[in-house]
Structure 1
Amino acid sequence: MSLAAARYRAHVAAVWAAGPSDGAHDLGHLARVWANARKIALDEPEVDVSVLEAAVWFHDLVNLPKNSPDRARASTLSADAAVAFLRSDGFPAEKLPAVAHAIAAHSFSAGIAPETPEARILQDADRLEALGAIGLARMFLISGRMGGGIVDMDDPMALHRPLDDKAFALDHLEVKLLGLPATMQTRTGRLMAEERAEWMMSFRSRLLAEIG
């Protein structure tokens, strides 16, 4: 971990310590997103690593619950808070807009199109966290936290009812997660997403087999 990243991590930890805990958005999440981002960046041209590193570590600085009415504003609030800290930390002023844009554009709910290499990489790196084994773990954790169940035992695949991922965690695969590979902005991110989504479908098949 770079010296800058160590400062960023410490600041995020201090900010989060003052709020409610969220096992799906913790320091481990940030470390995994940074690992994803570094892997994707190897195949992307003209990436400013200092911008990408700062954006990754601060992308969830303002972390609002999934069911918060202000959820769509979380990424822009995080961007504002990140810029304020980075300015005081001596980060190059001319790079602050790029950090802010990458953070603001990473969010699915914000609906902001990524316009820079760093923004595209961060969006892909973060969305990979919603796929694969870690994606399933986070999906069930968040669903349980919000009062949802695992699966509708009467109609697990929603063949005769509307999908409802607030009531049943498994529905979230069709509602959102299995569509994420098509939204990926980079070739490497898309390949990683497709592999993870395929694994999730295998898990669903096993789950359905076990519940009969």
Structure 2
Amino acid sequence: MQQDDIARIFKPFEELATNLIPHAVAPGDGAHDIAHIQRVFANAMRIHAVEGGHAETIAGAVLLHDCVAVEKNSPLRAEASRLAAEKAGGILAVLGWSADQIARAAHAIAAHSFSAAIKPETLEAKILQDADRLDAIGLIGAARCFYTGGRMGSGLYDSTDPRAEDRALDDKRFSIDHFPVKLFKLADGFQTPTGRAMAAERHARLEQFYHQFLEEIG
């Protein structure tokens, strides 16, 4: 990423982004790439503009929330955010962040993950969790779902029973099953009023996509 792009996308934290982007993501996962970081940053700044919170802490947590990569099908998946929080603490310490600010950023990173099931205790943590989950619903959420399913070797849907009327849902085998298994549940768990409002809009789009998809396949 060019410096001009960093300055434009991560303003007013372009210096922080310059320092942290080299640590931000592992290569090879297009659902958790630098574009994902950009979208989560934009979501977080939009929520922060209404809800408040310490902006630099939010920005640092956003930039490093996926700094440790664990595949979706790994038994260590639930530990990914804790591992990322630990790694982020060391990176932010090198930048001279205070122990308190590092702790707040690390908690936000640890609590952002659905799999980790850690309750966000600070406003910064609530904002990061909301900002990240917004990227899992709506049309971008649908795209990421099918992309990840393809990487994991899943089919699009069960051709004999796409609606799972006579079978158990299985999102490891069929990407479309991930909508009712997880994605449709996310909108109920948003932490901030602004995040909830944004989530309601995206949830409606996700439901519309799901029903239109099933209609098209017959």
Partners of 1:36 and 1:12 in 2: CA distance: 17
Is residue 2:205 matched to residue 1:209?
Answer: no
Superposition deviation, residue 76 in structure 1: 0.8
Q: Counterpart amino acid of 1:24?
A: A
- Pairing of 1:17-166 with structure 2 (within 5 A): 17=27, 21-45=28-52, 47-166=53-172
User: CA separation in 2, counterparts of 1:207 and 1:87?
Assistant: 47
Give the root-mean-square deviation of aligned CA atoms. Answer: 1.1
- What are structure 1's unaligned runs of at least 5 residues? none
* Structure 1 residue aligned with 2:5: none
Task: Tell me the distance in 1 between the aligned counterparts of 2:125 and 2:90.
Answer: 19
TM-score, normalised relative to structure 2: 0.91
* SS, match of residue 170 in structure 1: helix
Note the C-alpha offset of 1:197. Answer: 1.3
d(CA) in 1 for partners of 2:200 and 2:174? 23
Q: Which residue of 2 is the match for residue 11 of structure 1?
A: 23
Contact 2:23 2:64 (8 Å CA) reproduced: no
What is the deviation of 1:12?
2.4
Q: Aligned partner of 1:104: which letter? A: A
Measure, in 2, the Cα distance between the counterparts of 1:182 and 1:93.
33
Count residues in correspondence: 206
> How far apart, CA to CA, are the structure 1 residues paired with 2:145 and 2:175?
7
What pairs up with 1:159-174 in 2 under 5 angstroms? 159-174=165-180
Q: Output the amino acid matched with 1:9.
A: I
The CA deviation string for residues 91-130 of structure 1, in whole angstroms up to 9 with x for no partner, is 2233111011000000111110000000000001000111
Which residue does the alignment assign to 1:197? 203
Q: Deviation per CA, 1:139-170: give whole Å up to 9, x if none.
A: 00111111111111211111111110011111
Task: Please give the alpha-carbon distance, in whole angstroms, between the structure 2 residues aligned to 1:207 and 1:38.
Answer: 32
AA paired with 1:201?
Answer: E
- Runs of 4+ aligned residues of structure 1 deviating over 2 Å after TM superposition are 10-13
Looking at structure 2, the residues matched to 119 and 104 of structure 1 have their Cα atoms a distance apart, in angstroms, of 9
Identical positions, percent:
49
Shift of 1:82: 0.5
Describe the superposition over 1:34-88 as per-residue Cα deviations: whole angstroms up to 9, x where unpaired.
Answer: 000011112214x011110100000010010001111111101101111101111
What's the CA shift for 1:189? 0.9
- Mean Cα displacement is larger for which, 147-156 or 171-180? 147-156
Unaligned runs of 5+ residues in structure 2 are 1-9
Q: Structure 2: how far apart are the matches of 1:5 and 1:92?
A: 18
The TM-score normalised by the length of structure 1 is 0.94
1:196 CA drift (Å): 0.9
Q: Counterparts of 1:94 and 1:128 in 2: how far apart (Å)?
A: 27
**Once the 2 structures are TM-superposed, how far is the Cα of residue 133 of structure 1 from its aligned partner?**
1.1
CA positional deviation for 1:207:
1.4
